[in-house]
Amino acid sequence: MAVMNSAFDPLYGEAWTRRQVEDALVIGNCHYQLISPSGDDPHDGTPAAGFYLSRHGFEEEELLLFAIDPAWRRRGLGLSLLREFADAARNRGARRLLLEMRRGNPAETLYRRFGFAPIGERPNYYRSRDGQTIDAITFSFDM
């Protein structure tokens, strides 16, 4: 939750509450992983530098949340975590990864570099706190 609360720009309202995360995790098909500043699994007491939360469906897994704390960005942790996500999802039976992103999110560079490609758009799907509407773009990665 510390990373959640520091990583997402409040303008877009993308951070989830603790309650939303807990509700997702009790469903059983949602998975998460943390990453430490050194790129490993955080040990007890080590603060996390980032995390993902995903939802598995039949032969697909969707990245619901993905964030690196601003203090630890541009050191390759996001790319490492994305690779760990792909490996874990593959082990859970996924053959395709999906994610949805607001148009203009700089994360697009990372997603494309990893190999994600756009497959669809929802015009004006999001509304930011200042009232502007923003398209959603769906990306997929076939494994």
Ligand X SMILES: CC(C)(COP(=O)(O)OP(=O)(O)OC[C@H]1O[C@@H](n2cnc3c(N)ncnc32)[C@H](O)[C@@H]1OP(=O)(O)O)[C@@H](O)C(=O)NCCC(=O)NCCS
Nearer residue to ligand X within complex by CB, 56 or 102: 102
Contact range with ligand X by CB under 6 A, out of 25-33, 53-61, 107-115, 128-136: 107-115
**Strands 60-68 and 96-102, sheet pairing:** parallel
Q: Does 78 bind ligand X (CB under 6 A)?
A: yes
Nearer residue to ligand X within complex by CB, 10 or 76: 76
Residue selected from 74, 130, 131, 142 as contacting ligand X according to rule CB under 6 A: 74
d(CA 4, CA 13): 11
Question: What is the 8-class DSSP label of residue 21?
Answer: H
Q: Does 68 bind ligand X (CB under 6 A)?
A: yes
User: How deeply is 116 buried, as exposed, middle or buried, from its count of CB atoms within 10 A (0-12, 13-18, 19+)?
Assistant: buried
Name the 3-class secondary structure at 45: coil
Residue selected from 25, 71, 79, 143 as contacting ligand X according to rule CB under 6 A: 79
Q: Does 104 bind ligand X (CB under 6 A)?
A: no
Structure tokens at 117: 């490609």
